[in-house]
Amino acid sequence: MKPAVTKAILKKCDSVSRLLKSLSHPVRLKVLCSLMEKERGVNELTEFCGISQSAMSQFLARMKAEGLLESRRERNHVYYRVADQKVSRLLSAIREIYC
């Protein structure tokens, strides 16, 4: 492998692997998949994934902190949506290959 090319790949791999780690949990992946079409409320996501409210809240907080999700509040409900265009593209590719 040419050293010049090599170095660039190594760096990219570090950042990309961090992103993939975020997608690599079943709940986080389910959340992202279900948000592909449209934004959804915490309640809906929680039911969909079949986990506790607390757990979901933690997942959502983490994904938001990582820049994967954005949220907005409406009355006493919070709605989440996918924040990153590239992540959407990646999810589409995954769907195409595996679904």
CA atoms 14, 16, 19, 21: torsion sign: negative
For DNA, the closer CB: 24 or 96: 24
DSSP 40-82: EEHHHHHHHHT--HHHHHHHHHHHHHTTSEEEEEETTEEEEEE
User: Residue 14, interface with a copy of itself (CB under 8 A)?
Assistant: yes
If one counts every other C-beta atom within 10 angstroms of the C-beta of residue 42, the result is: 16
Sites for DNA among residues 68-87 (CB under 7 A): 71, 73, 75-78
Question: Of residues 6, 55, 67, 81, which one binds DNA by CB under 7 A?
Answer: 55
Position 27 contacts DNA (CB under 7 A)? yes
Residues within the interface to a copy of itself (CB under 8 A): 1, 6, 8-10, 12-21, 23-26, 28-30, 33-34, 44, 48, 86, 89-90, 93-94, 97-99
